């Protein structure tokens, strides 16, 4: 049974079926959304149960598409893509549950979300360069309309900024894909990841093109400026998907394309890439500290945490010992997953708070922990995870990245200062919103309802589980990263 294909296209088929139904009421639309995304999540668990193999792609599904140019419909998974596929299906399912409150043009909203899930899963599982680019670009359309149609006050401007940045930023990747095709005669990414399609100057030019595209998508300093506006103006589920899933397109591409397909050029540019990672980590932390808007603060922490991923991949390229390279890549991939869980939880919680108070300003609250303990303790746990507290999801990821950096490029450890800044900004937010004297304005604020608990609890459980016992996830990642590190 072609589980990868079913998981990829089931969402968009469900969306098309919804548009064909005579009854496209709000209730029907959300029922279709929850059923489809829930089914996809179960299918991805079955894909996980089938397993992956060391040093190669598993469960490959391949059909001829454009034989004349060597393009085919190819899907597959490995230890880099499978964790992100599982993360994607989980976050879309939880987003569908949370979005059941949306009543305005619900059918259109659901179709866009389901189209976006298809594009996201396809991006992570595609093994054909042309197919990858199609999925990569289609995702922009879904998120653009989600922000523009269901966002907040300045949604039109934020959506346009997001679309222009990411569309123009993706054009260099198309040139790199064409270059890899010319060097290999095929669009088969399995051939490209051998790292022999390009060499010398063509490889360096392709690498630069890839770095431009993926830096915008990550986003890394200084091409990050679209992110805060997009996050702040997006609906809550849009922010969760953008941070938890779509930012990973950039870090996934950094490993799959830049690191694997142009390894020699990447190593030559490794010091510069590491410097951008360090600057992004520090800048993201300091910029987040300066924010008074909770949602914008969390958006800037994404720049910080994605900076750590860039550092890990750069250290892997620069390290001379296979063991250090593997540790760095394990940590970078684990950070992608942990960031999706933790930041997804934080955006959900801020959205829940905004639904109740219609404001996100840290200074607008105070003393809420006694009034909304479920929301308060969930936020505190997620905040502690985001600042890297041992026993929670970010710690094993960041520990591996900094351990590899210490052994390979110790000057990069200056980025560890960002952890201190992140701790300061989250402690300030916790104190301002949940501790101290309660503002009487919020004396009747309701705590999380059952549906909201159902949305947030899986993320909190996984945050703790990965922090306490990360072996099950690291083993999956390590299956592939051991080969990449050698």
Residue pLDDT, tens place only, 299-333: 999 999 999 999 999 999 998 888 999 999 999 99
Q: What is the mean pLDDT of residues 64-74?
A: 89
By C-alpha distance, which of 419, 245, 181, 410 is closest to 318?
410
∠ CA 86-87-90, rounded to 5°: 85
* 177 three-state secondary structure: helix
Query: What is the per-residue pLDDT for 285?
Result: 93
* 51 three-state secondary structure: coil
Query: What is the per-residue pLDDT for 253?
Result: 94
Q: What is the rounded CA–CA span in Å between residue 46 and residue 260?
A: 28
DSSP bridge pairs for 126: 75
pLDDT at 249 > cutoff 70: yes
Q: What is the mean pLDDT of residues 284-305?
A: 92
Q: Tokens 């431009």 — which residue?
A: 212
Q: Which residue has the higher pLDDT, 370 or 397?
A: 397
Tokens of 205: 């030019």
pLDDT at 342 > cutoff 70: yes
DSSP bridge pairs for 221: none
For residues 401, 298, 366 and 353, what is the CA-based torsion angle, rounded to 10 degrees? -120
Query: What is the per-residue pLDDT for 421?
Result: 93
Angle between helices 81-98 and 471-485 (to 10 degrees): 140
Q: Indicate the pairing of strand 71-77 with strand 58-66.
A: antiparallel
By C-alpha distance, which of 144, 181, 183, 134 is closest to 164?
144
Element (H, E) at 395: helix 394-408
Q: What is the rounded CA–CA span in Å between residue 48 and residue 86?
A: 8
Query: What is the per-residue pLDDT for 12?
Result: 95
Q: What is the rounded CA–CA span in Å between residue 240 and residue 179?
A: 34
Cα of first residue to Cα of last residue in the chain, in angstroms, is 33
Q: What is the rounded CA–CA span in Å between residue 213 and residue 208?
A: 9
Query: What is the per-residue pLDDT for 485?
Result: 59
pLDDT at 408 > cutoff 80: no
Query: What is the per-residue pLDDT for 443?
Result: 82
Residue 168 and residue 212 in contact, taking contact as beta carbons nearer than 8 Å: no
Query: What is the per-residue pLDDT for 442?
Result: 82
Per-residue pLDDT tens for 431-484?
989 988 877 788 888 989 999 999 999 999 999 999 999 999 999 999 888 877
Name the average pLDDT for the chain: 91
Q: What is the mean pLDDT of residues 40-48?
A: 96
pLDDT at 91 > cutoff 90: yes
Q: What is the rounded CA–CA span in Å between residue 343 and residue 243?
A: 7
Q: Would you list the DSSP string of 436-457?
A: SSPPGGGTT-----HHHHHHHH
Q: Give the rounded percent of residues in the chain with a pLDDT score beyond 70.
A: 100
Element (H, E) at 68: none
Query: What is the per-residue pLDDT for 199?
Result: 85
- Phi-psi region at 40: left, alpha or beta (left = phi > 0; alpha = psi -120 to 50): alpha
Per-residue pLDDT tens for 159-212?
888 888 888 888 999 999 999 999 998 999 999 998 888 888 999 999 999 999
Residue 296 and residue 273 in contact, taking contact as beta carbons nearer than 8 Å: no
Q: What is the rounded CA–CA span in Å between residue 92 and residue 110?
A: 11
By C-alpha distance, which of 133, 131, 13 is closest to 64?
131
Contacts of residue 154, Cβ cutoff 8 Å, sequence gap at least 6: 229, 233
Query: What is the per-residue pLDDT for 438?
Result: 79
pLDDT at 13 > cutoff 80: yes
Tokens of 61: 């599904």
Per-residue pLDDT tens for 137-171?
999 888 888 888 887 877 888 888 888 888 888 89
Query: What is the per-residue pLDDT for 484?
Result: 75
Query: What is the per-residue pLDDT for 486?
Result: 65
Q: What is the rounded CA–CA span in Å between residue 250 and residue 162?
A: 14
């Amino acid at each position: 049974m072609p589980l990868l294909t079913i998981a990829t296209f089931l969402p968009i088929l469900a969306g098309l079926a919804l548009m064909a139904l005579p009854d496209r009421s709000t209730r029907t639309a959300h029922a279709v959304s929850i059923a489809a995304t829930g089914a996809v999540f179960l299918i991805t668990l079955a894909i996980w149960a089938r397993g992956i193999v060391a040093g190669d792609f598993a469960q490959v599904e391949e059909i001829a598409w454009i034989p004349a140019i060597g393009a085919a419909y190819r899907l597959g998974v490995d230890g880099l893509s499978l964790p992100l596929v599982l993360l994607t299906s989980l976050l879309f399912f939880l987003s569908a549950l949370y979005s059941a409150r949306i009543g305005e043009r619900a059918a259109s909203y659901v179709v866009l979300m389901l189209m976006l899930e298809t594009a996201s899963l396809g991006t992570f599982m595609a093994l054909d360069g042309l197919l990858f680019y199609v999925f990569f670009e289609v995702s922009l359309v879904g998120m653009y309309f989600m922000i523009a149609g269901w966002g907040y006050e300045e949604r039109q401007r934020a959506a346009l900024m997001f679309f222009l940045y990411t569309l123009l930023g993706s054009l260099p990747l198309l040139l790199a894909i064409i270059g890899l095709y010319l060097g290999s005669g095929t669009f088969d990414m399995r051939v490209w990841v051998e790292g022999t399609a390009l060499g010398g100057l063509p490889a360096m030019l392709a690498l630069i093109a890839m770095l431009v595209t993926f830096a915008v998508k990550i986003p890394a300093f200084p091409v990050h400026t679209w992110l805060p506006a997009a996050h702040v103006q997006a609906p809550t589920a849009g922010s969760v998907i953008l941070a938890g899933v779509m930012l990973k397109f950039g870090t996934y591409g950094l490993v799959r394309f830049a690191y694997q397909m142009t390894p020699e050029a990447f190593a030559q540019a490794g010091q510069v890439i590491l410097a951008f990672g360090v600057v992004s980590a520090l800048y993201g932390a300091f910029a987040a500290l300066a924010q008074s808007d909770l949602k914008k603060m969390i958006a800037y922490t994404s720049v910080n945490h994605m900076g750590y991923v860039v550092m890990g991949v750069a250290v892997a390229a620069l390290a001379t010992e296979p063991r250090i390279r593997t540790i760095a890549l394990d940590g970078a991939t684990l950070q992608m997953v942990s960031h999706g869980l933790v930041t997804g939880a934080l955006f959900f919680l801020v959205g829940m708070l905004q639904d109740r108070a219609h404001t996100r300003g840290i200074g607008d609250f105070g003393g809420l922990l006694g009034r909304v303990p479920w929301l308060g303790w969930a936020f505190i746990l997620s905040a502690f995870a985001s600042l890297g507290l041992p026993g929670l999801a970010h710690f094993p990821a960041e520990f591996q990245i900094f351990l590899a950096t210490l052994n390979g490029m110790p000057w990069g450890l200056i980025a560890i200062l960002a952890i201190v800044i992140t701790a300061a900004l989250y402690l300030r937010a916790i104190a301002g919103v949940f501790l101290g004297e309660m503002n009487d304005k919020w004396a009747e604020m309701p705590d999380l309802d059952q549906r909201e608990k159902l949305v947030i609890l899986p993320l909190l459980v996984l945050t703790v589980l990965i922090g306490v016992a990360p072996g099950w996830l690291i083993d999956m990642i390590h299956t592939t990263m051991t080969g990449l590190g050698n």
